[in-house]
């Protein structure tokens, strides 16, 4: 059957479900393009014959080959596009400089696409708000104050912790507090 | 864990296919039994069982869904698409008796996806197929959801092994929710961890070195 | 000292002369509202550039004030935390938007093209520039690597058809901020008929996004 090479490309990518990037399959791509060329030429010949000699019976086969051409086109575009999505993820996971073993799996054109993506993202971030802009690739997780268990050495009375609630610090009582800066403040006293 | 920055094109909903979705491309590779309603000249080599130059009219063969969709026309029929047996009346009766006993991975694994796609081909049985798909999904959903929400740190492979692709995705998202909640409860949610993508690349680098 | 840090929203002494000025607390509430809506809606919502700009200004201001607080002052920790939290929400908001712009880029740009004068733009000028570059970059890439090596009748792909549109039939959780009457609910199955509901203020619902999309943009409901 036609389009077997094309589905191989898709399977290869789909097997890596966690977003990893397999090596660019230049050879596979070339083979699919070759099959497309052959299908197209055969169809051109049959179309001419159908027109000139009136062989309308060739039409079903022309249609079949055309479906295969469209299928090959879809598989290739989907293969390339999905790879771009994976490459885009690399920018967010690794930052703007990729390790050599990752870059090694990209084609020259993919490296170029990545370069342009980096540039677009950078100028977007620079343009946010005022002067310096905002690096939105930082702060991926909400800031967390670490809870710390403290034992009070002396009576301190009421103390406001970072969420605004007031806790009572009595000598020898144990409390969980939300902010180590608050603790260091008390330790200084 | 999934990489949070890689967002693949999702499969289409219902009868739709998404052009760029890898899942939909794999789904449309599923083979369907068809019968040719005309001669396909000069394509005899696609039909391995005969050595004639053409595919003759009336040939029964299996072709992928994408090709069936490409060739199918209501007015000028070049082929008839037959129902795979899992959508035929015999199996529909089994599903309506107890959808939970069926191994949808073995019978599918794209039971719902392919079933919805079958509705593209005009068949008098379409309303019944659609109804069975929906009822089967509803009938099995409760169990899929219950176990995805309650099986924490348990071996779920026996159950998951019998799920259709769509159910598997739902099961996983339920499990992710459960695991996320558990680690939040234990106060591990804020622990810093390296991205799984980065970790996997490190592993692979090691394998490359060893090879 | 407390005056220098008044922008944490707890002690606001805005001058009464400017009535339409938002207090910092109101501003942050606006940001959080936009953030949650953007995070949970399947489609890209209208941009809130003014809010983003004001929050950026606010952050700069707070950073500057924090520099003046003497080391060891317990309040510094709280304010540092407050700044970090605001910056996280703002970054996360802008990230969600950028993600959707990338995900739906042909549709987002198409919508921008067909926009009539006076209609609010979905994209901020910066986002618009980003979307255009993303489109051109991706299109050029696909052309160079594959499409122009294909037979003549297969050298183009309609990106509007190839890239899926947002699924407006997704279900979303929401909280009602302003009471609504006669919201039409479409049937979920053939046996059902459509019916209308009233949404009471403060009540929470799980509904099809398409049904309440206008209420999200008007601010009558909040996605949660």
Please report, for the domain that includes residue C32, its CATH number. 1.20.58.1030
Which residues pair with residue B40 across a beta bridge? B55
Q: Based on the domain organization, do A164 and A120 belong to the same domain?
A: no
Q: How far is CA B195 from CA A41, A79, B6, B185, C28, in A?
A: 48, 24, 12, 21, 30
Q: Based on the domain organization, do C159 and C183 belong to the same domain?
A: no
Would you say residue B193 has pLDDT above 70?
A: no
Number of other residues whose CB lies within 10 A of the CB of residue C40: 17
- Which residue in chain B has the smallest CA separation from C167? B13
Residue C60 near residue C87, CB atoms below 8 Å: no
Closest CA to A187 of A145, A164, A162, A159: A159
Residue span of the structural domain in which A177 resides = 147-187
The alpha carbon torsion through C13, C17, C22, C24 (nearest 10 deg) reads -20
Residue span of the structural domain in which C114 resides = 24-164
DSSP code string of B70-113: HH--SSS-SEEEPPPGGGSHHHHHHHHH-GGGS-HHHH-SSHHH
**Closest in B7, B12, B20 to C163, CB measured:** B20
The residue out of C164, C182, C202 marking a domain boundary is C164
The tokens describing C57, both together, are 């200004």
DSSP H or E run through A169: strand A166-169
Q: Do A14 and B187 touch (CB under 8 A)?
A: no
The count of structural domains within chain C is 2
Q: What is the phi-psi region of residue B85: left when phi exceeds 0, alpha when psi lies from -120 to 50, beta otherwise?
A: alpha
Instruction: Give the 3-state secondary structure of residue B64.
Output: strand
Give the pLDDT confidence score for residue A5 in this predicted structure. Answer: 97
**What residues 72-131 of chain A have any CB closer than 8 A to a CB of chain C?**
73, 76-77, 80-81, 84, 88, 107, 109-110, 112-113, 116-117, 119-121, 123-124, 127-130
For the ranges A35-44, B51-60, B103-112, B139-148, the maximum mean pLDDT occurs at: A35-44
Q: Do B22 and A14 touch (CB under 8 A)?
A: yes
The tokens describing C22, both together, are 């938002």
CA C107 to chain centre: 17
The residue out of C115, C136, C164 marking a domain boundary is C164
- Which residue in chain B has the smallest CA separation from A82? B8
More confident of the two residues A72 and C196: A72
Q: Based on the domain organization, do C68 and C101 belong to the same domain?
A: yes
- Which residue in chain B has the smallest CA separation from A137? B5
The count of structural domains within chain A is 2
Instruction: Give the ranges where chain C is alpha helix by DSSP (H).
Output: 24-40, 49-68, 74-103, 105-113, 125-145, 159-162, 209-218
More confident of the two residues A129 and C174: C174
Q: Domain of C189: which CATH number?
A: 3.40.5.60
Q: Based on the domain organization, do A91 and A152 belong to the same domain?
A: no
Give the pLDDT confidence score for residue B158 in this predicted structure. Answer: 85
Query: Using a CB-CB distance cutoff of 8 angstroms, which residues of chain C are in contact with residue A148?
Result: none
Using pLDDT thresholds of 50, 70 and 90, give the confidence band for residue C51: very high
A61 contact B CB<8A: yes
Instruction: Give the 3-state secondary structure of residue B183.
Output: helix
Chain C nearest-CA distance from A186, in A, is 9
Q: Based on the domain organization, do C187 and C199 belong to the same domain?
A: yes
Fold of B1-82: Methane Monooxygenase Hydroxylase; Chain G, domain 1 (1.20.58)
Using pLDDT thresholds of 50, 70 and 90, give the confidence band for residue B52: confident
Query: Looking at domain B88-210, which of 3.40.50.300, 1.25.40.10, 3.40.190.10, 1.20.58.2050 is its CATH number?
Result: 1.20.58.2050
A26 Cβ contact partners less than 8 Å away, ≥ 6 residues apart: A107
Whether residue C216 lies inside any domain: the answer is yes
**Closest in C57, C59, C74 to A182, CB measured:** C74
Q: How far apart are CA C74 and CA C63, in angstroms?
A: 16
Closest CA to B141 of B119, B163, B114, B115: B163
pLDDT per residue as tens digits for the range C8-18: 444 444 444 44
CB neighbour class for A109 (10 Å; exposed up to 12, middle 13-18, buried from 19): middle
Chain B nearest-CA distance from A131, in A, is 28
Whether residue C11 lies inside any domain: the answer is no
CA triple B97-B99-B104, angle to 5 deg: 140
B110 Cβ contact partners less than 8 Å away, ≥ 6 residues apart: B27, B30, B164, B165
C210 contact B CB<8A: no
Whether residue A135 lies inside any domain: the answer is no
Using pLDDT thresholds of 50, 70 and 90, give the confidence band for residue C7: very low
Q: Which of A20-29, A146-155, B52-61, B73-82 has the lowest mean pLDDT?
A: A146-155
Residue B14 near residue B114, CB atoms below 8 Å: no
The alpha carbon torsion through A80, A85, A86, A90 (nearest 10 deg) reads 130
Instruction: Give the ranges where A95-179 is alpha helix by DSSP (H).
Output: 100-103, 108-126
Would you say residue C100 has pLDDT above 80?
A: yes
Average pLDDT, chain C: 88
Give the pLDDT confidence score for residue A166 in this predicted structure. Answer: 65
What is the rounded average pLDDT of the residues C150-173? 96
A90 contact B CB<8A: yes
Whether residue C176 lies inside any domain: the answer is yes
Closest CA to A131 of C59, C28, C91, C127: C59
Q: How far is CA C174 from CA C87, C187, C199, C204, in A?
A: 25, 20, 11, 6
For every one of its 189 residues, what pLDDT tens digit does chain A have, with 9 covering 90 and above?
899 999 999 999 999 978 899 999 999 999 999 999 999 999 999 999 999 999 999 999 999 999 999 999 999 999 999 999 999 999 998 888 998 989 999 999 999 999 999 999 999 999 987 677 899 988 888 876 544 556 667 677 777 655 455 667 777 666 655 444 455 445 544
Q: Which long-range contacts (CB under 8 A, 24 or more apart) does B45-51 make?
A: B46/A1, B46/A2
Interface test with A, best of C25, C75, C78 (most A CBs within 10 A): C78
Q: What is the largest CA-CA distance in chain A?
A: 106
Number of other residues whose CB lies within 10 A of the CB of residue B77: 12
Chain A nearest-CA distance from C181, in A, is 37
Query: Using a CB-CB distance cutoff of 8 angstroms, which residues of chain B are in contact with residue A146?
Result: 190
A15 contact B CB<8A: no
Would you say residue B168 has pLDDT above 70?
A: yes
Interface test with A, best of B11, B25, B75 (most A CBs within 10 A): B25
Number of other residues whose CB lies within 10 A of the CB of residue C219: 13
A20 contact B CB<8A: yes
Residue C189 near residue C176, CB atoms below 8 Å: no
Q: Do A124 and C98 touch (CB under 8 A)?
A: yes
Give the single-character DSSP code of C8: G
Q: How far is CA C53 from CA A122, B193, C33, in A?
A: 18, 32, 16
Q: Which of A162-176, B16-30, B152-166 has the lowest mean pLDDT?
A: A162-176
B210 Cβ contact partners less than 8 Å away, ≥ 6 residues apart: none
Give the pLDDT confidence score for residue B180 in this predicted structure. Answer: 87
Residue C107 near residue C165, CB atoms below 8 Å: yes
Q: Which residues of chain B are in CATH 1.20.58.2050 domains?
A: 1-82, 88-210
Interface test with C, best of B16, B20, B173 (most C CBs within 10 A): B20
Instruction: Give the ranges where chain B is alpha helix by DSSP (H).
Output: 22-27, 65-71, 89-97, 104-107, 111-118, 126-150, 157-160, 165-185, 196-210
Q: Based on the domain organization, do C183 and C110 belong to the same domain?
A: no
- Which residue in chain B has the smallest CA separation from C157? B19
Residue B78 near residue B39, CB atoms below 8 Å: no
Interface test with C, best of A35, A79, A162, A163 (most C CBs within 10 A): A162
pLDDT per residue as tens digits for the range C28-43: 999 999 999 999 999 9
Q: How far apart are CA B189 and CA B181, in angstroms?
A: 9
Whether residue A104 lies inside any domain: the answer is yes
Neighbours of B (≥3 Cβ pairs closer than 8 A)? A, C
Length of chain A: 189
User: What global pTM score does this model have?
Assistant: 0.87
Q: Which of A81-95, B49-63, B197-211, C147-161 has the lowest mean pLDDT?
A: B197-211
Average pLDDT, chain B: 88
Instruction: Give the 3-state secondary structure of residue B1.
Output: coil
Q: How far apart are CA A119 and CA A151, in angstroms?
A: 52
The percentage of chain C sitting over the pLDDT mark of 70, rounded to a whole number, equals 89
Give the pLDDT confidence score for residue B75 in this predicted structure. Answer: 84
Number of other residues whose CB lies within 10 A of the CB of residue B163: 25
The alpha carbon torsion through C8, C10, C14, C18 (nearest 10 deg) reads 80
What is the rounded average pLDDT of the residues B108-113? 92
Q: Based on the domain organization, do A14 and A98 belong to the same domain?
A: yes
Give the pLDDT confidence score for residue B134 in this predicted structure. Answer: 93
Q: Which of B77-86, B116-125, C135-144, C180-189 has the lowest mean pLDDT?
A: C180-189
Give the pLDDT confidence score for residue A176 in this predicted structure. Answer: 54
């Amino acid at each position: 059957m036609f389009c077997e090479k094309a589905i191989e490309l898709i399977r290869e990518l789909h097997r890596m479900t966690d977003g990893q990037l397999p090596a660019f399959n230049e050879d596979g791509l070339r083979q699919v393009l070759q099959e497309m060329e052959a299908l197209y030429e055969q169809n051109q010949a049959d179309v001419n014959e159908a027109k000139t000699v009136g062989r309308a019976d060739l039409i079903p086969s022309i249609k079949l080959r055309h479906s295969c051409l469209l299928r090959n086109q879809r598989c290739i575009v989907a293969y390339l596009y999905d790879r771009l999505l994976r490459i885009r993820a690399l920018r967010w996971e690794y930052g703007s400089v990729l390790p050599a073993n990752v870059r090694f799996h990209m084609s020259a054109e993919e490296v170029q696409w990545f370069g342009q993506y980096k540039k677009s993202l950078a100028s977007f971030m620079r343009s946010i708000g005022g002067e310096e802009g905002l690096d939105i690739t930082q702060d991926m997780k909400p800031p967390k104050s670490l809870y710390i268990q403290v034992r009070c050495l002396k009576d301190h009375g009421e103390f406001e912790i970072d969420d605004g609630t007031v806790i009572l610090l009595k000598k020898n009582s144990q409390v969980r507090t939300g902010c180590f800066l608050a603790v260091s403040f008390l330790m200084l006293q | 864990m999934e990489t949070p920055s890689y967002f693949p094109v999702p499969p289409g909903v219902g009868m739709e296919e998404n052009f760029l979705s890898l899942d939909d491309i794999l789904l449309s590779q599923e083979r369907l039994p068809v019968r040719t309603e005309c001669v396909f000249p000069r394509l005899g080599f696609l039909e391995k069982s005969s050595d004639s130059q053409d595919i003759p009219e009336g040939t029964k063969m299996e072709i992928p869904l994408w090709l069936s969709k490409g060739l199918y026309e209501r007015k000028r029929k070049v082929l008839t698409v037959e129902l795979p047996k899992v959508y035929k009346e015999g199996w529909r009766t089994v599903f309506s008796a107890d959808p939970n006993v069926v191994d949808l991975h073995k019978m599918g694994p794209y039971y719902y996806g392919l079933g919805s796609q079958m509705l593209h081909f005009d068949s008098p049985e379409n309303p019944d197929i659609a109804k069975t798909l929906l009822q089967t999904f509803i009938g099995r959903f409760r169990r899929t959801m219950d176990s995805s929400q309650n099986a924490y740190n348990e071996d779920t492979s026996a159950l998951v092994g019998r799920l259709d692709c769509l159910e598997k995705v739902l099961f996983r998202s339920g499990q992710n929710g459960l695991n996320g909640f558990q680690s939040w409860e234990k106060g591990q949610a804020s622990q810093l961890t390296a991205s799984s993508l980065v970790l996997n690349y490190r592993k692979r680098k090691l394998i490359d070195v060893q090879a | 000292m407390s005056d220098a840090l008044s922008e944490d929203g707890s002690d606001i002494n805005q001058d009464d002369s400017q009535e339409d000025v938002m207090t910092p607390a109101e501003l942050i509430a606006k940001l959080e509202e936009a953030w949650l809506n953007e995070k949970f809606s399947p489609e890209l919502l209208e941009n809130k550039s003014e809010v983003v700009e004001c929050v950026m200004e606010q952050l700069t201001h707070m950073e500057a004030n924090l520099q003046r607080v003497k080391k060891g002052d317990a309040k510094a920790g709280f304010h540092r935390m407050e700044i970090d939290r605001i910056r996280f929400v703002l970054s996360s908001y802008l990230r969600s938007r950028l993600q959707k712009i990338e995900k739906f880029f042909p549709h987002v740009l198409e919508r921008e093209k067909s926009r009539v004068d006076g209609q609010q733009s979905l994209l901020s000028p910066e986002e618009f520039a980003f979307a255009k570059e993303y489109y051109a970059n991706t299109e050029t890439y696909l052309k160079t690597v594959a499409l122009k090596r294909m037979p003549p009748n297969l050298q183009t792909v309609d990106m509007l058809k190839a890239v899926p549109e947002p699924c407006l039939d997704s279900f979303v959780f929401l909280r009602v901020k302003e009471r609504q009457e006669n919201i039409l609910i479409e049937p979920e199955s053939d046996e059902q008929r459509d019916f209308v509901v009233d949404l009471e203020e403060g009540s929470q619902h799980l509904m099809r996004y398409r049904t309440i999309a206008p209420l999200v943009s008007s601010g009558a409901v909040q996605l949660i």
